[in-house]
Copies of this chain bind each other. A is one copy, B any other.
């Protein structure tokens, strides 16, 4: 029943968004809303397909698939932005995804969970490792920015590419560490997956289909956003960091909050923090490497505002999660920082 509703929503939103895109009969606001609804649906579809394929692939490869496809929607949206050399909006949306996960998703999960349970606790070891990885991510994004002002554009590109390669390697080693050599230490309450929705063949077909749908929708969304941004005089920084990021992470938001309500705060934290780590250590550097294909290198130099936002989010999230126990007020703290950042970005 629930699955049928989802299918209907998926198809309807996709068709409506296609009509809006090709006919041009709707105004830009309505077109944006339709695009957003459609992308949330196709991202959800992609998530289900990934999970189903991961189930058939076995635990280890499945974990890897889940981890790397988890941010596939964001990666695809960003791919089309990179292709059009819209590097500023790409970096803004990377920033937004990181702070959205660390502050909004994590904050809402802690608040919602904390209103139901006085205290919730999770594996401290995992929190400590996540904290160190997050630090690496912040450092890796911070160093190029600190040095860029005295480098030639050529050297900045070189530095960006080298840092990107180093980060991807670090990320792959992290997967190896957490899924192979130290799997037992880091395991917390597992995220429940249940039975796969479809047969093996159908799952693979749906994974391909969903990826294609996300790709198409992303391209339409990028076009719509451009019109909308210009029309309302919003800055690309704000749109990238708040609008795109919230849409791209809609799936994580609902999943994490549902888990927090079921007292599985460890799994909720893992989704929020794990997702932001993936963006910083995998999606961002991969986009730099992808930009090489299009002939114009995207550097990894973030603006001061973006670095402030990422740094601040990482520090407060680390401070709150390091004792392995959470409550509603810690959720409030994260949301407060998110609000302050949001207002500052809006005013810039």
Contacts and interface: CB of A to CB of B under 8 A. Distances in A.
Interface of A: 118-119, 124-125, 128-129, 131-133, 135-136, 139-140, 142-144, 146-147, 150-151, 155, 158-159, 162-163, 166, 170, 173-174, 177, 181-182, 185, 304-305, 308, 312, 315-316, 318-320, 322-323, 327-330, 332-333, 336-337, 339-341, 343-344, 347-348
A146 B304 contact: yes
Nearest to A136: B333
Given A147-B348, A158-B347, A162-B343, 16 more contacts: A125-B323, A132-B316, A132-B330, A132-B333, A136-B316, A139-B316, A146-B304, A146-B305, A147-B305, A147-B308, A150-B348, A155-B347, A162-B340, A177-B327, A181-B328, A182-B327
B132 A170 contact: no
A147 B181 contact: no
Given A136-B337, A181-B118, A329-B182, A344 B159 contact: yes
A135 B316 contact: yes
Contacts of A177: 327-329
11 contacts: A119-B185, A131-B319, A135-B319, A140-B340, A142-B308, A147-B347, A150-B348, A158-B347, A166-B336, A181-B328, A182-B327
Contacts of A142: 308, 312
B135 A329 contact: no
Contacts of A140: 336-337, 340
A205 B148 CA distance: 51
A330 B136 CA distance: 11
B332 A170 contact: yes
A143 B329 contact: no
A348 B139 contact: no
A56 to B, nearest CB: 29
Contacts of A339: 166
A151 B323 contact: no
A151 B347 contact: yes
Nearest to A343: B162
A287 B225 CA distance: 41
Contacts of A132: 316, 319-320, 330, 333
Contacts of A305: 146-147
Please give me the 8 A-B residue pairs with the lowest Cβ-Cβ distance, nearest first.
A177-B329, A147-B344, A155-B347, A146-B308, A132-B319, A128-B323, A139-B312, A170-B336
Contacts of A348: 147, 150-151
Contacts of A304: 146
Nearest to A182: B327
A316 B138 CA distance: 10
Contacts of A155: 347
A340 B163 contact: yes
Contacts of A128: 322-323
Nearest to A320: B132
Contacts of A136: 316, 333, 336-337
